A and B are shown apart, each in its own frame.
Chain A
Amino acid sequence: MNPKYRPYYPRWYRKRIPIFWWLQKRSHAAFIGRELTAVFVAYAAIMLVVLVLAMDRGQAAFAEMMDWLGTPAVVAAHVLVLCILLFHTITWLNLAPMAIVVKLGDRKVPAAAVLIGHYAAWVACTGGVAWLLIWR
């Protein structure tokens, strides 16, 4: 017999899960809301690739791209995207000590140190990309 098989008891009551189950509890709605911010992370990653491709196509293509990025509507939209990305990043980094427990010998590295390490890596990566895009 398939070990995964479970007998079906027709008289047991099984609660149906509504499609909008995540609206029934505030914490679940907040969770789904945060998950949806991942769409904007994907958008930002694609935007970065598009920028790099524009650089590759030459100065004129890059200038055209920068002109589009400078239009008020795009700037406003990207400020909003930046806020969403900051929310996603900060809430994600804050979870790092839960997943990463570092031991040096018999002593546990404090959660704050793990957190600071992640923020430092974030700042370093952001600085590297900024240097590449702005000052190079």
Chain B
Amino acid sequence: MADTLTKPETVTLEVFRYRPELESEPTFDSFEVPYHPEWMILDALNYIKDDLDGSLSYRWACRMGVCGSCGMLANGQPVLTCATYLESLLPGPIRIEPLEGFPVIRDLVGDIGDFMGKLSEVKAWLIRDEEKPVEEGEYLQTPSQLDDYKQYSMCINCMLCYSACPIYRLEPEFIGPAAIALAQRYNMDSRDEGAEQRMDVLSQHHGIWDCTLVGECTEVCPKNVDPAGAIQRYKVSATMDYFKSLLMPGSSS
């Protein structure tokens, strides 16, 4: 009872605004939103959009932590706004900013074209040397084979890991945590035969070797994908492949 008495009636959100037609530098607008214990940050943003300022721009879609489109910084921390309670950031004010590392198009909307391009570069899809005819049925997999890559397949492309990664902010050429984790997801899939094709991109300087294991990507991942672990595992396997090729030239890894 005492706890409910101490809850505020409203919470202040300081929201990053950037309207390129009006200003050359971003500003922060303060909004008072009603406090409801069941509200997520996204609910508060939707309240602002619906009732206070319809010009506020941000991305969202599913509202249940699956689409990965509502990632933003809340008090400097990359979070999915649909999965972060206002309550967890009380008493406020709560500062909402776009994800770091991506150029801002408007307000809380960043340009994600770079990440989309990198997903294509690492060929984050199943590659087969030869597809078998449909009549031969599906490619079977044991539970253990599924377990090898399942963790990495949980990535929802929310890009919180890119925002948390200081290396990506300093060197935007870095392929980055999610794209490498997704490449590993396919490399470790028993049905895939594309590891060598991905190697050219992943083993270059701006691939795995740019990563200095800060580990923040794993900390902020809402799906426990552990991109830092995926990158370190790839470093070990790429190093072993390199020494294998030195000792046994001509052999395929």
Contact = CB atoms under 8 A, between A and B. Distances in A.
A25 B105 CA distance: 26
Contact of B232 (A17, A31, A35, A99): A99
Contacts of A12: 20, 103-105, 111
Interface of B: 18, 20, 25-26, 76, 100, 103-105, 111, 113-114, 142, 144, 166, 169-170, 212-216, 219, 226, 228-229, 232-233, 235-236
Nearest to B21: A11
A78 interface: no
Given A11-B20, A13-B104, A17-B169, A95 B233 contact: no
Interface residues of A, number: 21
A112 interface: no
B238 to A, nearest CB: 11
A35 B212 contact: yes
Contacts, number: 55
Interface in A38-82: none
Contacts of B219: 27
B26 A27 contact: no
A17 B170 contact: yes
A1 interface: no
Contacts of A11: 20
Contacts of B228: 98
Contacts of A99: 229, 232-233, 235-236
Given A12-B105, A27-B214, 4 more contacts: A12-B20, A17-B170, A99-B233, A99-B235
Interface string A1-32: 00000100101111101000110010110010
A15 B105 contact: no
Given A12-B111, A28-B166, A106-B144, A95 B103 contact: no
B248 to A, nearest CB: 22
Contacts of B144: 106
A111 B229 CA distance: 13
A13 B18 contact: yes
A17 B113 CA distance: 20
A9 B114 CA distance: 13
